[in-house]
């Protein structure tokens, strides 16, 4: 885990939200602004490999679209557990050593926390963590933070309510960390006990001086929230399905919740959604999740430009 304290400008890998400082985020977001709707050939001749051991729609396709929009090329495998040599018993480390020879950057999604750091330790090209099990998902957090900025002007001073599966939801772990860089941020962690936020995240919030509260009721905090960040209950990570059922039924955003939500607040979700946000919410202008997902392309363009440009 040598790279975790590395500031992004000197960075070879994107493994954790902890690598980013405020200057780096400002630089990245300015690049993203400049790249909106843009296509050029600045990464012509460069190759990005996408190696996905877990399902993905948005993350993989937006990375691929970002690379193609900058003139680069893409190779890769989805369902890498079945369709790569992993099924023959090859270790992640050996696979990464080989893919390093075929591509200039590797975008990796894996089912185990820490997999991206393991990959980075043996890769000879930059590794980007596109989700490592219940660990982190730093590029999603970047587009989430960019979305808060574009929807509300700034992330400074926001009260964000993280809802749903805060235990296994890696996007929450990464976004909470990035938000510690913004003065005045307050957090509510709204989830039943079985999927409440981990002590490790809370320790980092405490160390950063972030005021937070834990509850299992959104109605206790909704009056003062600026951002509701709803998440899918991560069914694939439960060993006890009874816990999954408790979590699944806990918090749902519907028209009634939207009536209680302040006029200027927004609802975000990393997607995919199952039923934790009713489709009746989609038409509400405060439903920001599809705009949020679209921001994935410019953020990943900016990141690839920074890593390879």
Active site residues: 58-59, 88, 109, 137
CB of 84 to ligand NCD, least distance (A): 19
β-partners of residue 85 are none
Q: Is 177 one of the binding residues for ligand NCD (CB under 6 A)?
A: no
Q: Which of 131, 133, 135, 192 binds ligand NCD (CB under 6 A)?
A: 131
d(CA 185, CA 174): 15
Cβ of residue 157: shortest distance to ligand NCD, in angstroms? Answer: 26
Site for ligand NCD in 30-49 (CB under 6 A): none
Rule CB under 6 A: is residue 16 a binding residue for ligand NCD? no
Site for ligand NCD in 59-118 (CB under 6 A): 59
Q: Are 291 and 147 contacting, i.e. CB atoms less than 8 angstroms apart? A: yes
Binder among 100, 171, 174, 188 for ligand NCD (CB under 6 A): 171
Asked if 254 and 273 touch (Cβ cutoff 8 Å), the reply is no
Instruction: Specify the DSSP class assigned to residue 186.
Output: E
Interface with ligand NCD includes 167 (CB under 6 A)? no
Choose between 20 and 186: whose C-beta lies nearer to ligand NCD.
Answer: 20
Q: How many residues bind ligand NCD (CB under 6 A)?
A: 10
Neighbour order of strands in the sheet with 73-77: 73-77, 47-52, 105-110, 127-132
Among 270, 276, 277, 303, the residue binding ligand NCD under the rule CB under 6 A is 270
Q: 3-state SS of 188-248?
A: EEECCHHHCCCHHHHHHHHHCCCCEEEECCHHHCHHHCCEEEECCCCHHHCCCHHHHHHHH
- Contact positions vs ligand NCD (CB under 6 A): 58-59, 131, 137, 140, 170-171, 232, 270-271
């Amino acid at each position: 885990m040598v790279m975790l304290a590395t500031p992004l400008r000197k960075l070879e890998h994107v493994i954790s939200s902890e690598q980013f400082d405020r200057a780096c985020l400002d630089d990245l977001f300015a690049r993203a602004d400049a790249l909106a709707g843009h296509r050029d050939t600045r990464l012509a001749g460069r190759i990005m490999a996408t190696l996905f051991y877990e399902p993905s729609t948005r993350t993989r396709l937006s990375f691929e679209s970002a690379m193609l929009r900058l003139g680069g090329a893409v190779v890769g495998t989805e369902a890498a557990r079945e369709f790569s040599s992993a099924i023959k018993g090859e270790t992640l480390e050996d696979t990464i050593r080989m893919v390093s020879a075929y591509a200039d950057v590797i975008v990796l999604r894996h089912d185990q926390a820490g997999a991206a750091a393991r990959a980075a330790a043996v890769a000879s090209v930059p590794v980007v963590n596109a989700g490592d099990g219940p660990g982190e998902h730093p590029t999603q957090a970047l587009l989430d933070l960019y979305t808060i900025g574009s929807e509300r002007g700034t992330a400074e001073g926001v009260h964000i309510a993280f809802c749903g599966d805060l235990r296994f939801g890696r996007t929450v772990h990464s976004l909470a960390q990035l938000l510690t860089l913004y003065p005045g941020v307050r957090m509510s962690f709204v989830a039943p006990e079985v999927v409440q936020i981990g002590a490790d995240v809370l320790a980092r919030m405490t160390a950063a001086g972030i005021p937070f509260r834990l509850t299992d009721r959104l109605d206790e905090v909704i009056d003062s929230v600026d951002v509701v960040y709803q998440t899918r209950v991560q069914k694939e990570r439960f060993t006890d399905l009874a816990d999954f059922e408790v979590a699944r039924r806990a918090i749902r955003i519907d028209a009634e919740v939207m009536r209680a939500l302040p006029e200027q607040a927004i609802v975000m979700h990393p997607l995919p959604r199952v039923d934790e946000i009713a489709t009746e919410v989609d038409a509400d202008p405060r439903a920001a999740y599809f705009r949020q997902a679209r921001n994935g392309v410019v953020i990943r363009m900016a990141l690839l430009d920074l890593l390879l440009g």
